[in-house]
Each structure stands twice: as structure tokens, then as C-alpha cells.
A and B are shown apart, each in its own frame.
Chain A
Amino acid sequence: MDKKSLTRRLGRPVLGTVAALAMTAGMLGTGPAKAAESFKIGVVTFLSGGAAESFGVPAWNGGKLLIEALNRGGEVPAPYDKKGFGGMTIEYVLVDEAGGATKQVQEFRNLVQREKVDAVLGYVSSGDCLAVPPVADELKAFLILYDCGTPRVFEEASYTYVFRTAAHAAMDNISLARYMKSKGIEAKYFAGINQDYAWGQDSWADFVASMSVIQPGAKVKTALFPKIFAGQYGTEISALMREKPDLVHSSLWGGDLQAFVLQAGARGLFKRAQVAFSAGDHVIPQLGNKMPDGIILGARGVNGLAAKARPNALTTWFWDAYTKEYKVFPVQAPFRMVQGLLGLKTAVEKAMVANGGKKPNAEELAAAMKGLEWDAPSGRIQMTLGGGHQAIQPNAIGRTKWDTAKGEMTLIDVEYYAAECVNPPDGTKAVDWIKAGFPGAKCK
């Protein structure tokens, strides 16, 4: 029998059967039966693609560690020593966020309607965070956005069943501008290198606006927007060297940030200008001592090294458990995943007190989560913006310093900012608040 006739003979029955099976199983299959004493969450985060290594995977590592510890019960320090969520075992369904907003809307519907999850926690990408919430409200499904940065989610719309348990991105750049002032870093001219998409464009706009209020004399020398995942920054670095700004702002992340640090370091940029990375802490485990000393960086909250520098029982428990399990220290993303999960735990338990100990439905969860406050390894999280749907949290900015004796990176000159100091009050858009000169900011 030659190859052609073999495929011909096999092709129809095999593929026909596979297709028929897949279609029937897919269309009519129902989700697995639910145990009475469990709370099922859908977790959506990047497991592949550019944001996986920096955000998605470490975030889920932190989440998985916390869920397992909670399910065993009594391991996490008080007030989280109760087993699971209010005694219920936590079950999870993990979904890869790669593939764009279209796919995520579909997968969200599948999680809610097919897998019958009780809540969904997810989304690193701002595009996904804008696309999924309307669907959550339509399906009356409880949704926590745990990572994404765009302020647009609750500034342009309002939702009943959607909450974001991390501060939005305006905080990162307001804090950076405040840090320059308080550390006496006078910038006559400053420049920016940010990726050419919403995150990079917004970060730069927020930083420029903040600087014009805090250091009105500082002038923008150049704003560079290489495309996302470019990986090569030869031209941009040349431009920065030629323009000689005192300060370079960047919201680069992941592989792009690593590439930029390595290429700019080799050409001496860090010796000529003060460089500030608004969200740069997450590349330290990969770069190690190749991250130069004296870089000003933030971690989008009191996360990673900044949290370690200000320990409490909860932070120390998380830091040690994570480091022991994964042989690397936790950067910002796992902190945000953990603060989302702890917020959900607090809301579930609050709702159970209100409803007499039953598993709460989406309405009860939403009522409990609105305006909630709880403690996380990153500090106190308060759902104050967007009518109680958007969190604010404290922030920290510091400078890198390689500890040669211990062979590890440390943060020095760390400044901590109260949540109300770097986040707008409810009802004010972040951009307007910055332009108005931060009215009502409560700083220490």
C-alpha cells in the first residue's frame, strides 16, 4: 500500500470520528459535578508569550502557593489562618491569557457558563481588562482584575460585578516624580523611552504631567517610543546619549527591559544619566548584578524587594514560602496575585457572615467586596475608587544596590508613599488630578 492510499483510507474514518467526538463532547458536555464544600475560581494569566516570564508565571506561582497553603489551613498568618475560603476548599481552573482580547472574552464565557466557576481572577493585559468587564456584568459573574494598569477601566465605565484589587498605573509615575523631588534629583532636561502601545504611552503622559507640576522647570528633551518586543535599542540609546538628558524615564518591562539594561549598560548610559524604571523590579532575578547600581525603580506597589525591606508577619511568611518553593524571590506580580486572592477570601468570609454561612452568590460577593479593606503582603489595600470597585495601595520607590557580600540585589533609599498621597480621590480622573496639582493628597 502506498502512502497516498494509506492516508486516503485512514483519513476519512479517523478524522470523521475525531471531529464528531470533539463536536459532540464539546457542544453537549457539561462541566464536572461540583463538590458541595468547594469554591471554584477561574484564574487567567499569561502562561505563554512575552508577558509570561515577567508577570504571568511568577504571579501564578504565588497564587498556587497561597491557594495550597490556604487549603491546608492554619499556615498563613492571621487573619488568614482559616481553611480555604470560609472553610470551603478552593478549586481552580487555570487559563492562558495569551491570544488577545477576543479569545479572552470567549474563554471568560466558557469559565462562567461551562465550568461554572464562582469567581474569576485574572488579566495582566489592559486590553483584556477593558474587554472582559462588560461581559462579566452581562453574565452577572464576579470578576477580580488583579494586575492590569490602565485607569480607563473604572474611569470610563462602572460595573456591578467587577473589581480591581491593585492600584492603577497613574500611581507608579506620580510616585517616581515625587521621589525625584524628595531626593533632590534636579532634572533640567529629561527623556523617556517607552513601548509604543497604551501602557507605554499612558506611563509617559502621566510622568510628564507629574513632572510639570512637581518640577515645573524640567523640560522634555526627547520621547522615544520603540515598538513593543523590539529587543534592539541601539538607535534609541544613541539618541539618548546624544541628547544628554539628566534623567531618563522608562516603563519598559520583561524581555524588553532586560535587553535595554544590557545594551544601555554596555554603552555607558547609566553613568551619564539617572535612569528610572517605573515598574522595573521584576527583571532583577534574571539580571542579577547586571542590573547597575543606583537605578531608581518602582514595583507598582510595595512589592518585591521594597516589601522585604519593611517586613511584617504576612510579608515574611509569603517571602520565605515563595523563596523556599521556587528558589527565587517574589517580584511584583505574585504580590498582586496574592493581594487579589486575599481580598477575595476576605470578601467571601464577610459575605458568609452576612448570609448565615452559605456559599455567597455573585450579588453577595459584590456587596461584600465594595469598599472593602484588607491587609496583604504589599500593605493595606482599600477599595476606594470607582465607587468602591478600584483599589488604592501604598507605593515605594528605591535605588538598586548590589550587595557583594551576600551576592544579592538590595533596595536602598526607599521612600514609602501612603495610598492617598499617590492616588486620586474617588470621582477624579487620574490625569485631571495630576494636572490640578494633586488636590487633597495626603502625604506624610
Chain B
Amino acid sequence: MTLLRSVPAASALAFAALVLAGFVLPDWAMFLVTMAFAKGLVALGIVGLMRGGLVSFGQGLYFCIGAYVSGLMANWTGITDIFLLSLLGVLAAGAIGTIFGPLLANYRGIFFAMLSLSLSMILYGALSKMTTLGGTDGLNVAAPTFLGYAPEGRPLGLALYLYTSAIVVLVGGLMRGLFNSQRGLIALAIRDNELRIEYLGASVRTAMAINYVIAAVLGGLGGVISGLAIGHVDPEFSFWTTSGEFVFVAILSGYLSIPAVFVGSILLEVVRSFSNLYFPNTWQLALGIFLLLVIVLLPRGLGSLTLRRRKAKEQA
């Protein structure tokens, strides 16, 4: 148990499990997990903001930037290498995030939520008007290559899954390190009392801006992977309902556990996929009931399950 407390060991174990799962999972499930992980990365960025008491309803902005970078780079310059595309997507999202982060860091609550939402809707509107980029119909994205390796069919799905898993484990480990660090703990304290943090000598504004940039980078990364996995990007990536879905995953998972974010994301995809198939006319209802149950029974998110178990162990 103490071994699992060390972040690198837990990450290595999680990665080994994911790799093994990759060889057992059927194709469709592998794709589902890849997509859930990509969206989970974006939600993890929101979780980072949530720890400081902010919720962004506009992460679709960065998700969309990442996705369009992956699509346009492949179409314009012929770059299909997933490592390079991820780097470019992250840089683009990070750059935009660095511009807006310090501006938005002054706002709280509904003002922050609405401003972030409006930024993403500006991108949606702009992309919808740009017929050269396919307008509202979007454009197709070429399949990615992996350092010169260009798989097709199941190997492509597997390669994408392994790449995404590696990123998820790496990012998860880093974020845990961040959350446990002084900066991460300050974010939690900001949630409780901003004024006190300022008196302690830390800058609330800087902390918020940094969290925002981190969320932007994760949004871009999730967007690159989603765009490449789906093979199509459209302005819908930046629409408020997409952003709302990320917020939902973040709320579903809570900010207590990082693996919970990805489990929550997979759970949502599974429930949606099966309800869509078995109740084609009422799938939204099934999804709604599921969400309602989670919120009523686990108000602090899925992550609170692990926390309770840990507490129970410590008491015993």
C-alpha cells in the first residue's frame, strides 16, 4: 500500500495495466477509451481550476484549437507525426492561454465562467464563417503517424490508444505532483479564503493564471488527440455544449482523485454509448437519470469513493 502512495510507482503500474488492457480490449472499446482519455485530459485541466474554486465553461476553446492545429497542419504542411502535432497543439493552446489567462484571473464565479464561455463561442462563430476551413461542416484530418511508423486498421487504433495512455499516465503523475506541491496546496487554500492567501504573501492572481494556462495546455492536448482519433474536426469542438461536457466530467469525478477523472470520463462514454443504442428515442433521458444519480449519491464526485476507502483503512 505504501508503494502505491508513491506517484511514479502508481503511474508505472497504471500504465502497465493500460498496455495489457490494450491487447484484450475489442476495437470499439479501445476507441472509446482513447476518446474518453482525450476528453479526460481536458476535464483534468478544469479539475485543476476547480481546486482553486473556478469553473471554466469555455475549455472547448482550447480543445478546438488543438483539434484544428492537428487538422490544418496535416492538410497544409503534410505533418502527420503525432508527437510533433501534439507539441504544436500544446504550443498554440498554451500561447492563447497565456494571453487570456492573466486577463481572466481577475474574475470569479459566474463572471469567469461567462467570459471563458464567450471566448470559446467567438472561436465557434469565426470558424463557422470561414468557408475555406469547411465552415460548420469542418474538415477531415489525415491519420497520424508515429515517428515514421504509419499503421492502419487495428494497429493504428492500438498505437493511438497506447500513445494516449502514456500521455494520460504522464500528465496524471505530473498533475498529482503539482496538486501536492506548495502551489497546488495554495490553490486549495484560495478556494477557502482568498484574502488570507494574499496576506500570507502569495499572489492569488498568478496562481489562477498559471492554473488557467495549464488547463489550456491540457485542453489543446486533448483536442489534438480527439481530432486525430476521429479523423474530422468541426467548429462544434468549440461549442458551449462540448465545454459543458468537460465540466460535467470534472464534476462527476470531483477534484479529490486524478484517476477518477479518467474513470469518470470512460463511465460517461460507456453509459452514453449503450443508452444511445438500447434507447435510441430516450437516450438523453437515460443519460440524465445517470447524472442525477451520481450527483445525488456522490455529491463530491467519484473521487470521494477512494478517499472514503483510504479513510476507512486509516481508522481500522
Contacts and interface: CB of A to CB of B under 8 A. Distances in A.
Interface of A: 7, 10-12, 14-16, 18-19, 22-23, 25-27, 30, 47-48, 93-96, 99-103, 105-107, 109-110, 112-115, 126-127, 130-131, 134-135, 138-139, 150, 152, 157, 196-198, 201
Interface stretch (B9-17, B204-212, B268-276): B268-276
Which 10 interchain pairs have the tightest Cβ spacing? Answer: A131-B232, A113-B28, A197-B136, A11-B297, A26-B270, A198-B137, A94-B280, A198-B135, A100-B236, A113-B27
Contacts of B239: 100
Interface stretch (B29-37, B79-87, B97-105, B183-191): B29-37
Contact of A23 (B35, B140, B267, B293): B267
B140 A130 contact: yes
A201 B230 contact: no
A130 B273 contact: no
Given A48-B284, A95-B276, A101 B234 contact: yes
Interface in B125-140: 128-129, 131, 134-140
B153 interface: yes
Contact of B297 (A7, A25, A109, A110): A7
B135 A114 contact: no
Interface centre among B29, B152, B294, B308 (most CB of A within 10 A): B29
Interface string B262-291: 010011011111101100110110000000
B53 interface: no
Nearest to A22: B270
B69 to A, nearest CB: 17
A30 B27 CA distance: 12
Interface in B148-191: 152-153, 156
A115 B273 CA distance: 12
Main secondary structure, interface of B, reads: helix
A109 B277 CA distance: 12
Contacts of A107: 273, 276-277
Contacts of A196: 128-129
Contacts of B270: 22-23, 26-27
Contacts of A12: 305, 308
B195 interface: no
A152 B132 CA distance: 12
17 contacts: A7-B296, A7-B299, A15-B297, A26-B29, A27-B25, A48-B281, A48-B284, A95-B276, A99-B276, A103-B276, A110-B32, A127-B138, A127-B232, A130-B139, A131-B230, A131-B231, A197-B135
Nearest to A93: B277
B201 interface: no
Nearest to B294: A15
B298 interface: yes
A101 B230 contact: yes
Given A19-B267, A95-B280, A96-B281, A114 B28 contact: yes
A96 B153 contact: no
Main secondary structure, interface of A, reads: helix
Nearest to B232: A131
B308 to A, nearest CB: 6
A114 B135 CA distance: 32
Contacts of B131: 198, 201
A96 B26 CA distance: 23
A198 B136 contact: yes
B226 interface: yes
A55 to B, nearest CB: 16
Nearest to B274: A26
Interface in B1-49: 25-29, 31-32, 35
Contacts of B284: 48
B232 A134 contact: yes
A130 B232 contact: yes
Contact of B135 (A103, A115, A138, A201): A201
Nearest to A27: B29
A138 B153 contact: yes
Given A14-B297, A15-B297, A131 B138 contact: yes
A15 B293 contact: yes
Given A11-B297, A114-B26, A157-B140, A26 B273 contact: yes
B230 A110 contact: no
B215 to A, nearest CB: 20
Contact of A102 (B29, B152, B230): B230
Interface centre among B129, B134, B156, B230 (most CB of A within 10 A): B230
Given A7-B297, A102-B230, A110-B273, A131 B140 contact: yes
A115 B156 CA distance: 21
Nearest to B33: A27
A26 B269 CA distance: 10
Given A127-B137, A131-B231, A11 B298 contact: yes
A47 B156 CA distance: 32
A107 B138 CA distance: 19
Contact of B266 (A23, A93, A101): A23
